[in-house]
């Protein structure tokens, strides 16, 4: 696909020179002669590369405003700033706002074409990385055959076609962001931005800035997450960590469907689907005074709960197989030979959930063991500090033999039931018992059967 370059300059001669130069180099172009024309072209379609004059018809730095506008829509688009009134301060300001390069007029044509070539190569690399990441997310996000994952799949199919606000709850590393991405990809907003705001990573005094943006004294605009996600989806992760005063402002936006930027006077209206997530129980956070009940009811029109990996053991072999294939491809090595039913893996506590499992398999890929024995050693060494068998043995040493045996049988059969999604026949076959005998054993140990 031929790259497109947007040329913005109020000097007709320079526009024509740039246009001819860039077309001769094999690219397509669009041109704009002033701020409003440029704004219209940017909003119509984001170019692959933009060349912006710093000074147009609305002030000394209106090119910088256009730069900020492009970056608010797609931060990866390379922008080359040009000026006939260049100084060091102007160049630094351009780069600070995200410019790819700064060029003085009169410009060297060969040098400018080299900048454009590098800009397109840089954009293509970022697009390739994004495509790889997107494929990873879309392939992996709902891998599993557990009841929990099956329910979530059904929920996504039903709610993706709506614009309902969604709250996703589950432990860290379980896949909350992946569920949000899946919903976005299946919705009518799929071709528009998917923006993430992480409430746990923000500086306490920057929540408002990150959400609503700012109108600066020099006339430039810093766009917040709400505007960046316009027509698309905004995921507020770790929403439980956002301070109460900011929670009230989010609530006001949801009620009024508008907001003001910091230092702004005009109302900004945006069309955003809001998805929120947390690893905390928001109802409990409400009880202890950390979260607003009225905001909870606004953001949780529909709730999705993803269980910890320990509760869906039957998903682990599928995840191992998937990660082994994908990570091997990523490192360009032969497929990792990992036993998908390794008892050491199946019995591990997995406090870090799916993320921890993926990290383990990536560690194996990096070390590239020569055989299964070395793979097994890496697994045991990686998981030894928090593994089920070790804890079981340690706890069993302090109780009578009969109690220790019952404890082991209960833990063992519970794990096997989860592994086979509660299927009694498959569990009985695996553990070497008759179906009726397993029923009696489960009843005797007080283990509740499930489907």
Terminal-to-terminal C-alpha distance of the chain? 51
Predicted TM-score of the model (pTM): 0.61
DSSP for 26-94 reads T-EEEEESSHHHHHHHHHH---SEEEEES--SS-TTHHHHHHHHHHHH-TTS-EEEEESS--HHHHHHH
Query: Could you tell me how many helices (H) and strands (E) the chain has, helices first?
Result: 20, 12
Query: What is 310-389's CATH number, 1.10.620.20, 3.40.30.10, 1.10.8.60, 3.40.50.10240?
Result: 1.10.8.60
Residue 190's φ and ψ, nearest 5 degrees, are -60, -25
CA 318 to CA 149: how far, in whole Å? 12
CA 380 to CA 375: how far, in whole Å? 9
CA 127 from chain centre, in angstroms, equals 16
User: What's the DSSP call for residue 137?
Assistant: H
CA 183 from chain centre, in angstroms, equals 12
The strand pairing partners of 102, in sequence order, are: 81
Residue 4's φ and ψ, nearest 5 degrees, are -110, 135
Q: Nearest-CA neighbor of 57 among 33, 39, 26?
A: 33
Cβ proximity of 245 and 203 under 8 Å: no
User: What's the DSSP call for residue 192?
Assistant: S
Roughly what angle, to the nearest 10 degrees, separates helices 12-24 and 109-140?
60
According to CATH, the topology of domain 4-129 is Rossmann fold (3.40.50)
CA 112 from chain centre, in angstroms, equals 35
* Whole-number pLDDT of residue 388: 44
Cα separation values, 146 from 48, 166, 186, 317, Å: 43, 22, 22, 11
Cβ proximity of 294 and 126 under 8 Å: no
CA 398 to CA 308: how far, in whole Å? 29
Domain boundary assignment for the chain: 4-129, 147-307, 310-389, 399-445
According to CATH, the topology of domain 399-445 is Arc Repressor Mutant, subunit A (1.10.10)
Residue 108's φ and ψ, nearest 5 degrees, are -80, 120
CA 437 to CA 237: how far, in whole Å? 47
- How would you list the strands of the sheet with 28-32, edge to edge? 28-32, 4-8, 49-53, 79-83, 101-104
User: What's the DSSP call for residue 287?
Assistant: H
Rg (CA), the chain: 28
Tens-digit pLDDT profile for residues 348-368 = 889 889 989 988 888 888 777
In 204-336, alpha helices (H): 207-212, 225-228, 244-256, 282-287, 293-299, 316-331
Per-residue pLDDT of the chain (451 residues; tens, 9 = 90+): 789 999 999 999 999 999 999 999 999 999 999 999 998 898 888 899 999 998 888 766 688 889 988 988 888 899 999 988 767 778 888 888 889 999 988 889 999 999 999 999 888 877 776 665 555 555 556 889 899 999 999 999 999 999 999 999 999 999 999 999 999 999 999 989 999 998 887 777 788 989 999 988 777 788 899 999 999 999 999 999 999 999 999 999 999 889 999 998 889 998 999 999 999 999 999 999 999 999 999 999 999 999 999 889 889 999 998 888 888 877 777 878 788 777 788 888 898 899 899 888 888 887 778 788 888 888 888 887 554 444 444 444 455 656 666 776 777 788 778 777 788 888 888 777 788 888 888 888 888 776 5
* Whole-number pLDDT of residue 405: 66
According to CATH, the topology of domain 147-307 is Rossmann fold (3.40.50)
Residues 6 or more apart in contact with residue 443 via CB below 8 angstroms: none
Same fold, 310-389 and 399-445: no
What 3-state DSSP class applies to 307?
Answer: coil
Q: Which helix (H) or strand (E) holds 382?
A: helix 372-383
């Amino acid at each position: 696909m031929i790259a497109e370059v947007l040329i913005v300059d109020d000097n007709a001669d320079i526009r024509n020179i740039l246009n001819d130069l860039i077309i001769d180099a094999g690219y397509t172009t669009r041109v704009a002669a002033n701020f409003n024309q440029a704004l219209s072209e940017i909003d119509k379609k984001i170019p692959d590369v933009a060349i912006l004059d710093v000074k147009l018809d609305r002030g000394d730095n209106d090119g910088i405003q256009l730069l900020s506008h492009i970056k608010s829509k797609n931060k990866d688009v390379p922008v080359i700033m040009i000026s006939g009134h260049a100084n060091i301060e102007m160049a630094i300001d351009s780069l600070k706002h995200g410019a790819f390069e700064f060029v003085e007029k009169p410009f060297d044509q060969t040098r400018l074409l080299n900048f454009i070539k590098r800009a397109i190569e840089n954009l293509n690399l970022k697009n390739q990385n994004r495509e790889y990441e997107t494929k990873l997310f879309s392939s992996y996000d709902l891998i599993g055959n557990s009841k929990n994952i099956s329910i979530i799949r059904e929920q996504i199919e039903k709610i993706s076609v709506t614009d309902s606000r969604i709250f996703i709850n589950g432990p860290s590393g379980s896949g909350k962001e992946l569920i949000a991405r899946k919903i976005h990809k299946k919705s009518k907003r799929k071709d528009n931005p998917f923006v993430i705001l992480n409430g746990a990573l923000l500086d306490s005094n920057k929540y408002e800035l990150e959400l609503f943006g700012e109108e600066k004294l020099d006339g430039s605009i810093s766009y917040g997450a709400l505007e960046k996600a316009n027509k698309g989806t905004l995921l507020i992760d770790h929403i439980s960590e956002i301070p109460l005063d900011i929670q009230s402002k989010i609530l006001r936006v949801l009620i009024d469907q508008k907001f003001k930027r910091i230092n702004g006077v005009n109302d900004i209206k945006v069309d955003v689907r809001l998805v929120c997530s947390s690893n905390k129980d928001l109802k409990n956070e409400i009880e202890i005074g950390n979260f607003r009940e009225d905001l909870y009811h606004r953001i949780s029109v529909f709730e999705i709960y993803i269980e910890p990996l320990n509760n869906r053991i039957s998903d682990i072999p599928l995840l191992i197989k998937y990660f082994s294939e994908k990570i091997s491809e990523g490192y360009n090595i032969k497929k990792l030979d990992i036993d998908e039913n390794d008892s050491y893996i199946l019995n591990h506590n997995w406090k870090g959930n799916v993320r921890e499992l993926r990290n383990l398999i990536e560690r194996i890929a990096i070390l590239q063991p020569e055989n299964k024995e070395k793979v097994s050693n890496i697994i045991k060494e990686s998981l030894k500090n928090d593994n089920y068998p070790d804890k079981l043995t340690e706890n069993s040493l302090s109780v009578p033999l009969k109690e220790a045996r019952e404890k082991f049988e209960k833990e063992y059969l519970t794990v096997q039931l989860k592994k086979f999604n509660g299927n009694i026949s498959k569990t009985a076959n695996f553990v070497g018992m008759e179906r009726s005998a397993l029923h009696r054993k489960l009843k005797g140990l007080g283990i509740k059967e499930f489907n």
